[in-house]
Amino acid sequence: MNMWPNFFLQDEEQRMAMRGRVVVKRRKVLTDEQEGKIKLAFFVAIVGMTLTVLAVGTEFWVELNTYKQNHSAICEAAHYGLWKFCYKKLWMDDVEEERATCGPAELPGEANCSYFKFFTTGENAHIFQRSTKKELNVTAAVVSLLSITFMAMGSLCITMALSKGVEFLLKPASCCFIVSGLMVLISLEVFRQSVRWLITSDETIPLEYEYSWSVACAAAAGAVLIFGGGCFILLSIPGLPKKPWECCIKRRSDSSNTS
């Protein structure tokens, strides 16, 4: 008499197990090859994110160099980024003789660094009797922070896509990385305009300026992030050939069959 309940119980357990297998198969959409390509594109995006954080967090965006003074043992230079600026007093013996101005800022010397006041009190900064335009500097800093926010959102989408084995999250991730790269380039252009404003605000003290390695990191980061976002767009297109030459081979076989 107890055989029928046990039979129905075993049958129900088998159905639940089959449903669980079907759910697992439905969740596992990405193949191993697709996961490998996504991880490779994600590595490219990580390189762009690292360069962005390095550029945003350093103050070597631009260097301001005064001209050498005769019979002087020291010369003055300055460098700044999005958040703070530094005055430096360099020894003339460390500066190259062929160089007409003081610098570069990486030379050892007495440094005095401080954050810009327009983030706290709203005042413009004064560097070598020149005044900054706080609206441009604040805009460049805010846009760079928004870029990092979009990078974090794109990284979250890719992490979920790899962990859940789904493909539809690649498109929002690609949009986030492309927008992030564009914002890095926009921040770079706004900063360039702020430097031009600073140089032309006062010409009492002759200065020479040059962009430093932080700007190179920001430019490279913008290009790498846009490239990484483009790779995710290509990976999210359904029906795209796995290899470029597969499309050509298919066309040749179709033409030979028709002839």
Helix (H) or strand (E) segment spanning residue 143: helix 134-164
Q: What is the pLDDT of residue 218?
A: 95
- The third-level CATH classification (topology) of the domain covering 38-238 is Butyryl-CoA Dehydrogenase, subunit A; domain 3 (1.20.140)
For 42: left if phi > 0, alpha if psi spans -120 to 50, otherwise beta; the answer is: alpha
Amino acid at 150: F
Query: What pLDDT digit, counting tens, does each position of 7-59 carry?
Result: 445 555 556 555 544 444 444 466 778 888 889 999 999 999 999 999 999 99
- Reported as a single tens digit per residue, the pLDDT across 189-216 is 999 999 999 998 887 888 889 999 999 9
| The predicted structure's pLDDT at residue 258 | 55
Q: pLDDT grade, residue 256 (50/70/90)?
A: low
Per-residue pLDDT averaged across 137-150, rounded?
Answer: 95
Which pLDDT score, from 0 to 100, does residue 207 have?
A: 87
Confidence tier at 255 by pLDDT (50, 70, 90): low
Mean pLDDT of 250-255: 55
Task: Tell me the one-letter amino acid at 85.
Answer: F
- Give the global pTM: 0.78
- Give the model's confidence band at 155: pLDDT under 50 very low, under 70 low, under 90 confident, else very high: very high
Percentage of residues of the chain with pLDDT beyond 90: 40
| Rounded Cα gap, residues 193 and 189, in angstroms | 6
Query: For all residues of the chain together, what is the average pLDDT?
Result: 82
Instruction: For residue 244, give both structure tokens.
Output: 């470029």
pLDDT of 106 higher than 50: yes
Q: How many other CB atoms are there within 10 angstroms of residue 237's CB atom? A: 9
102 pLDDT band (50/70/90 cuts)? confident
